[in-house]
Amino acid sequence: MANEDIKDKILNIILQEQDKSINPLINNKGEIIYPLLEGIDIRVLDEMVSSNILEKRIYDRVLICPQHRRCLLYSRLYCPKCNSTDVNSIYLIEHILCGYINEINRFKGHDDLVCPKCNTAMNDKSTLVLGRRYSCNSCGNRFNNPIIKLHCYYNHDVDVRDADTIILYSYTLYKGTIVSENDIRTLLDSIYNTLRSKGFNVMKNHQLKGSSNMLHNVSIYAEYKGRYNIVIEYCINKENKKVGQDEFLQAIIKINDIQPQYSILICVPDIEDNLRDIATTNNIYVVSGNNMNSIIVKVLDIITSQVSI
């Protein structure tokens, strides 16, 4: 599969997700995976970040084995005296009414806890949990601070103090990515405002009469000091594929009938190469892509290269 096709597939996957993002997962081997991208080289994600198509965000920080670089799967408690993992956790409680304190297993009862000192049944109001301690079934040692180790897929444990940290990243649509007509409207508003700030007389959704006497609606019509006029139109493929012949020819016919001095056709996300050649033959500038900021810069570059501002 070609690199551009892979990027298109990734975009389509993201657009189907409710939060418009791709999130990592740790599998039972301690590997970091992106389940939605099975079979796809995830290095493409960073290429899309560099192209301002996706945004990379910190999703989580996890501990990994310093030797095998796998995420550590679960924790185990070790006795600090004999290094056994046969360790129990025991709660230390107090019977508030008589002040008796001991381990919870010393408060025997059939259904409820019963205080061995005053032989009274205990409830939530009369019981205070003071903390937790640990006991080793191998050597009988009782202690407050067990050694915590994390298990690696390669069947060894790593002391939590020796583990390395790694960052997991999620990928979401870049804020300026164009995927819908609403995004196009935002793009056109930005171009409109920018041209106005540079002294252009700008109109959106403006009607112009062509040489055929037919009225055409154009997305943006701009004039500068009565000497230059520019028409900006767009084509968008909502399935994130290259703009095809039908959408393209409609825009070309309209522009050719209006015959502005300069015309720019924005194609989202791209256009077939043979259609780009047709546009060039008809003196129409083509700007393609799906990043809003990039398109605005390209449109302004074309305009400033032709109009003396």
Low-confidence ranges of the chain (pLDDT < 70): 1-2, 309
Instruction: Identify residue 91 by its one-letter amino acid code.
Output: Y
In this prediction, residue 141 carries a pLDDT of 95
* Residue-level pLDDT at 176: 80
Helix, strand, or coil here: 184?
helix
Give residues with Cβ within 8 angstroms of 146, minimum separation 6. 77, 78, 79, 80, 87, 134
Whole-number Å distance between alpha carbons of 55 and 195: 28
| CATH class for the domain made up of 181-306 | alpha beta
289: left (phi over 0), alpha (psi -120 to 50) or beta: left
CB contact at 8 A, 118 and 68: no
DSSP 3-state of 58: strand
Q: Would the pTM of this model clear 0.85, i.e. be above it?
A: no
For the chain, the structural domain boundaries read 3-71+163-173, 80-145, 181-306
**pLDDT at site 2:** 58
Contact between residue 292 and residue 183 where contact means Cβ atoms under 8 Å apart:
yes
The pLDDT value given to residue 212: 95
